[in-house]
Amino acid sequence: MPRLARLTPDTAVGTSRDLLAELTSRHGRTGDMVATMAHSPAVLSGYLQLSRAMGRAKLDRRISERVSIAVQTLQGCALCLDAHVDAARARGVDEEEIDRAREGTSADPAIAAIITLALQVYRQPTSITDEQIAALREFGHSDRAIADVVGIVALNVLTGAFNLVAGLTPGSDSGA
């Protein structure tokens, strides 16, 4: 059961009202997470900006979805995990790779290395070494792709933590 109320353009105030009205006019509706984030204009605006920015990430979406699956498996946000699994499937990631992502790995060593980096960013960024970054480059990952992983993890931490605090679960969301 949600812990925080869902807001609408009619019930939100100030910047949140304006953001929700804009999103509703563009998309027809807002999902529970976005509508609930509207309690904090700073959180809602920050989420929207980071989400848009990460939409321009260099990292292939089939890889970034696996990164998100790995992070959300650890974080425990079922709503986010379901969304990222669905997105991975839509991009052609097979079930074995989705299962591997849940385990924090991949059959492809280059993807496994980027997932490992993401999980270290999530758990303990101080453990990342120069050698690890060099190995990522040897796999063909650019500095931009490596940096994008940090953004992907940050976006997942924000959305997952928010959903967990707000009590949003699968079935309660009516779209993002």
Helices and strands per DSSP (H, E), number in the chain: 9, 0
Asked whether residue 88 is domain-assigned, the answer is: yes
The pLDDT score that the predictor gives to residue 175 is 44
In the chain the first and final C-alpha atoms are separated, in Å, by: 18
Please determine, for residue 173, whether its predicted confidence score (pLDDT) is greater than 50. no
Asked whether residue 18 is domain-assigned, the answer is: no
Task: List pLDDT tens digits, range 48-75.
Answer: 999 999 999 999 999 999 999 999 999 9
Counting Cα atoms < 13 Å in the Cβ hemisphere of 39 gives: 11
Asked whether residue 156 is domain-assigned, the answer is: yes
Tokens representing residue 2 in the block: 């949600």
Percent of the chain exceeding pLDDT 90 equals 93
The pLDDT score that the predictor gives to residue 171 is 80
Asked whether residue 89 is domain-assigned, the answer is: yes
* Residue ranges making up the domain that contains 78: 61-166
Asked whether residue 176 is domain-assigned, the answer is: no
Asked whether residue 139 is domain-assigned, the answer is: yes
Task: List pLDDT tens digits, range 3-36.
Answer: 999 999 999 999 999 999 999 999 888 999 999 9
> Using CA atoms, how far apart are residues 34 and 42, in angstroms rounded to an integer?
12
Asked whether residue 74 is domain-assigned, the answer is: yes
CB 139 within 8 A of CB 168: no
The CATH code of the domain that includes 117 is 1.20.1290.10
- Output the pTM of the full model: 0.92
The pLDDT score that the predictor gives to residue 82 is 97
Domain count, the chain: 1
**Stretch 134-163: mean pLDDT:** 97
Asked whether residue 100 is domain-assigned, the answer is: yes
